[in-house]
Structure 1
Amino acid sequence: MPTTAPAALAFADVTTSDSALRRFLHGLPGVDAVGLEARAASLGTRSIKTTAKAYAIDLAISMIDLTTLEGADTPGKVRALAAKAVNPDPTDRTTPTTAAVCVYPDMVATAKAALAGSDVKVASVATAFPAGRAALPVKLADTADAIAAGADEIDMVIDRGAFLAGRYLEVYEQIAAIKAECGDRARLKVIFETGELSTYDNIRRASWLGMMAGADFIKTSTGKVAVNATPANTLLMLEAVRDFRAQTGVQVGVKPAGGIRNTKEAIKFLVLVNETVGEDWLDNHWFRFGASSLLNDLLMQRQKLATGRYSGPDYVTVD
């Protein structure tokens, strides 16, 4: 299996200066927006039935990063979320666990303790989430604190202001520094906030920038803005990780986050994965959903397939 070893050596010649990095990123093929959106829409019409649907539902459940990122988060809320991650449907113990629970750094220790003995990972947003506007030492300290508390994964957000101003080397160096802080202790997800990058060309450039700097995952959004994950921007990022692996041998994961609320939408994203990058990414080590509200609908659809009856939202816990 391809690794997530740093790819910096493969791009050493283009990461020595802002001008060299700009030439490389702006030399990437331009995105045909109409064609991209048409392909995403076309793949979304694929019909998935019966056995394949049951498989897709379980796969989607196993790919969810169950998340709470609110100022009012309490240890009790985090423990309840962890319990749901480990046992999403108490009436059916065959239900898969979710991939991870994602919390702020100060809640990592609580989540870690609650998830002890399970395979569910603890992810933590760091680096001045969600704006990403802080000095690098602050971002590094935020990351170090989360890892020391037990985080298995770090979700960092780039400084979109720096990226949009064309300070690509600054963004690259910050990602590389956070990746170095993570070392082999935690996987790094790099969040672009695609809704603020304005163009598909910028999303492609950000994808390559993040992967070149050592991202283990590239992630669409924080879930804190109006435009989050869409089939088109996720398809574009899937194409980027496919092309990056072809060039470097390094496999990078993808995480669409925000706005994916029901089973039908989740299955469309899984079709995008299967048709664009193939089975190598159809695993929660390489693909995640940042969509906590999605889990309840998946559970209701799973119950319907098993019993023939639609139980309704009153039969699943409220996050």
Structure 2
Amino acid sequence: MALDPSMFQGHPVNRSATERRAATLGTRRSVKKLYQAAWLVNAIRLIDLTTLAGDDTAARVRRLCAKARRPLADRIAEGLGIADMGLTVGAVCVYPTMVPHAVEALEGSGIPVASVATGFPAGLMPLDLRLREIEWAVAQGAAEIDIVITREHVLRQDWQALHDEIRQMRAACGDAHMKAILATGDLQTLRNVYAASMVAMQAGADFIKTSTGKEGVNATLPVGLTMIRALRDYGAATGHRIGFKPAGGMKQAKEALAWQILMKEELGRDWLEPDLFRFGASSMLGDIERQLEHHVTGRYAASHRHAAS
């Protein structure tokens, strides 16, 4: 849709109230035993299993894809009674040059390959090169593209420039889904986070995503709540449902529970499915697997007992 500043300009965001609301998630709501195990199994379905390191290799990507296909050890899946469930992660996320390796390793699995693009993580490349990077990644087989926005547009509140940039990126993605990374740790205020979320959705983002994982502050629940409220407001105004992806710094199973509780309370059960909600994570899967083994056996296994992701 065309840029409509009336949907976000002047929209108040009460930081203290937002922080209080987020702080209650771990105290007012808790799930235990079999219910906790079920929520953690669902979290696995929502993970974009990610490697975005400077020393990534084809071999590392193949190992990651093997973990994506079988995220739980057989003994744990059998103990939970889900050995025949066909459980996999939501996607595998890599750099563009790693896309061909991931596509080959995931062939026949139904797991999509997501690629970061547009000069990730800073995004400070000429726009034409960023668009060509998107097109290249899609041509290599990426089904999802995680783009990064130009933070300067937000800090200057140049909403038209931000909208035009994202709209061109959306066009370059073609049939691939586009996740717009807002790099919220760089945006200074929650009002900016709300406005950037709205502009990204108006410009055609299929998902809005908190962070690259490379900022000083990544996914936090108050920022997530602000973005989720923008999702809700946008849906109420347009009738379109947009997905959400927190990413960066999430390592523990309890974080997967808190984010899912937030999504269910704010947006409903539909947002606990991979088409509308993803986690950008890698090490969190290891802790989820460890917690599920404790549920099955009553004991915590040493970390070396679980396959590295």
TM-score scaled by length of structure 2: 0.94
Counterparts of 1:3-18 in structure 2 under 5 Å? 8=1, 12=2, 15=3
Aligned mates of 1:226, 1:186 — CA distance in 2: 29
> Which moved further from structure 2: 152-161 or 130-139?
130-139
Partner of 1:258: helix, strand, or coil? coil
Q: What amino acid is aligned across from residue 231 of structure 1 in structure 2?
A: L
Compute the displacement of 1:90 (Å): 3.4
Query: 1:4 maps to what in 2?
Result: none
Residue by residue over 1:161-204, the C-alpha shift from the partner in whole angstroms, topping out at 9 and shown as x without a partner, is 22212222111111111111222x21000000110001111100
1:211 to 192, 201, 219: 201
Structure 2 residue 120 is matched with structure 1 residue 129: yes
Q: Distance in 2 between matches of 1:313 and 1:147?
A: 36
Matched with 2:60 is 77
The 1-side partners of 2:237 and 2:34 are apart by 36
Q: CA deviation at 1:91?
A: 2.5
CA deviation string 1:94-139 (max 9, x = no partner): 3721111101111101100000011211000001100011222111
SS of structure 2 residue aligned to 1:65: strand
Report how many residues are paired: 300
Equivalent position of 2:98 in the other structure = 107
CA distance in 2, matches of 1:195, 1:41: 19
* Unaligned ranges ≥5, structure 1: 1-7
Gaps of 5+ in 2: 78-82
| 1:139-150 aligned within 5 A | 139-150=130-141
> What is the deviation of 1:41?
0.8
Shift of 1:284: 1.0
Of 36, 43, 48, 1:65 maps to 48
- Offset, 1:318: 2.4
Match of 1:151 in 2: 142
Q: Which residue of 2 aligns with 1:175?
A: 166
Show CA shifts across 1:288-319 (max 9, x none). Answer: 11111100000011111112221121111223
| C-alpha separation in 2, matches of 1:226 and 1:89 | 31
TM-score normalised by L of structure 1: 0.91
| Equivalent pair of 1:254/1:288 in contact (CA under 8 Å) | yes
Deviations 1:213-256 (A, max 9, x none): 01000000000011000111111111111111111010001100
Match of 1:3 in 2: none
Letter in 1 for 2:217: V
Amino acid at match of 1:109: P
Show structure 1 runs of 4+ deviating over 6 A.
none
CA distance in 2, matches of 1:43, 1:278: 15
Partner in structure 2 of residue 261 of structure 1: 251
Alpha-carbon shift at residue 32 of structure 1 (Å): 0.5
Instruction: Please point out which of 17, 37, 40 is paired with 1:35.
Output: 17
Name the CA distance, whole Å, in 1 between partners of 2:133 and 2:108.
26
Q: Does the Cα contact within 8 Å between 2:73 and 2:306 map onto a contact in 1? A: no
Q: Distance in 2 between matches of 1:109 and 1:304?
A: 36
Determine helix, strand or coil for the equivalent of 2:53. Answer: coil
- Supply the AA of the counterpart residue of 1:267: L
Q: Give the CA RMSD over aligned residues.
A: 1.3
Is the contact made by 1:101 and 1:123 (CA closer than 8 Å) also made in structure 2?
yes
State percent identity of aligned pairs. Answer: 46
Q: How does 1:145-294 map to 2 (within 5 A)?
A: 145-183=136-174, 185-294=175-284
Distance 1:308 1:119 in 2: 33
Query: Post-superposition shift, 1:24?
Result: 5.1
Contact 1:44–1:271 (Cα < 8 Å) also in 2: no
Please report how far the alpha carbon of residue 62 of structure 1 lies from its aligned counterpart in structure 2 after TM superposition. 0.9
User: Distance between the aligned counterparts of 2:238 and 2:25, measured in 1?
Assistant: 27
